[in-house]
């Protein structure tokens, strides 16, 4: 597989052309950033952890009927994906209150949100990713009414699948962020699903196994990420027993 021209450089991933116009190559780098890039470090092996976990979840979701951009791994930190026209929205699902929502609303850290809450931010670093509601998404022409319903339904389904999966591993899926893109007239899950874009707490102790470890200097972030990878590998071993 020839890696082509760099077409997009995100905070933790680089996207390259491939030898097929309908496919792209996503390289998960070792960069870790927080607070809109104000904090930035590199951790050897981080790209591999996030690529491994993302590939696992894309595959898991596909097996449960969710369409994703994942095609296959090229090497342990490089993924072949189908080309999407990305929609500049961050779709966040929350099962417990944590992070930004506890600063804006009278919700206590860890408070259960039942039913789960879905919020959307317009992706624009310079504007600090402002929150947008359904009417604004329609006014901005980002999604049609049908696509909006579809994205919401799919997000709730993904949330249920991931919540139940992590529950089995002894972890609480507090919240996560996903991004969608268009392929033809379909809305497809793109970007990544990793510890960078979710909050995971130990069910018993409340210990974090996600980017909050880095954001708030709660310990060694690579040890936390490695624990999640290890739990997933053990789960996979159990399945083939």
Please report, as ranges, the residues that interact with ligand C5P according to CB under 6 A.
Answer: 90, 92, 99-100, 129, 175-177, 197-199, 211
Interacting residues of 9 by C-beta distance below 8 A, sequence separation 6+: 15
Nearer to ligand C5P, 25 or 198 (CB): 198
**CB 147 to ligand C5P: min, Å:** 21
Nearer to ligand C5P, 18 or 189 (CB): 189
Distance of alpha carbon 16 from alpha carbon 24, whole angstroms: 6
Interacting residues of 63 by C-beta distance below 8 A, sequence separation 6+: none
**CB 198 to ligand C5P: min, Å:** 5
- What is the CB-side half-sphere exposure of residue 240 using CA atoms within 13 A? 5
Nearer to ligand C5P, 46 or 199 (CB): 199
**CB 192 to ligand C5P: min, Å:** 9
**CB 140 to ligand C5P: min, Å:** 18
Nearer to ligand C5P, 84 or 174 (CB): 174
Interacting residues of 140 by C-beta distance below 8 A, sequence separation 6+: 122, 132
Nearer to ligand C5P, 18 or 172 (CB): 172
Distance of alpha carbon 216 from alpha carbon 226, whole angstroms: 18
**CB 172 to ligand C5P: min, Å:** 12
- What is the CB-side half-sphere exposure of residue 74 using CA atoms within 13 A? 16
Residue 49 near residue 223, CB atoms below 8 Å: no
């Amino acid at each position: 597989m020839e890696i082509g021209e760099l077409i997009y450089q995100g905070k933790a991933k680089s996207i390259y052309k491939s030898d097929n116009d309908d496919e792209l190559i996503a390289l998960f780098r070792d960069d870790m950033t927080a607070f809109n890039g104000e904090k930035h470090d590199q951790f050897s092996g981080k790209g591999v952890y996030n690529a491994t976990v993302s590939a696992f979840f894309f595959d898991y979701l596909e097996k449960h009927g969710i369409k994703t951009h994942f095609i296959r791994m090229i090497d342990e930190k490089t993924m072949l994906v189908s080309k999407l026209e990305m929609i500049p929205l961050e779709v966040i699902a929350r099962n417990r209150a944590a992070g930004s929502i506890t600063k804006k609303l009278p919700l206590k850290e860890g408070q259960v949100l039942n039913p789960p809450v879905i919020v959307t931010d317009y992706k624009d670093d310079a504007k600090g990713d402002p929150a947008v509601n359904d009417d604004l998404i329609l006014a901005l022409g980002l999604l049609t009414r049908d696509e909006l319903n579809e994205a919401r339904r799919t997000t709730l389904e993904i949330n249920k699948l991931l919540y139940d999966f992590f529950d089995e591993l002894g972890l609480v899926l507090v919240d996560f962020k996903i991004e969608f893109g268009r392929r033809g007239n379909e809305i497809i899950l793109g970007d990544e699903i990793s510890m960078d874009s979710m909050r995971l707490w130990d069910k018993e102790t409340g210990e974090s196994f996600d980017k909050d470890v880095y954001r708030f200097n709660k310990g060694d972030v690579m040890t936390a990420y490695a624990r999640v990878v290890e739990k997933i590998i053990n789960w996979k071993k159990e399945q083939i027993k």
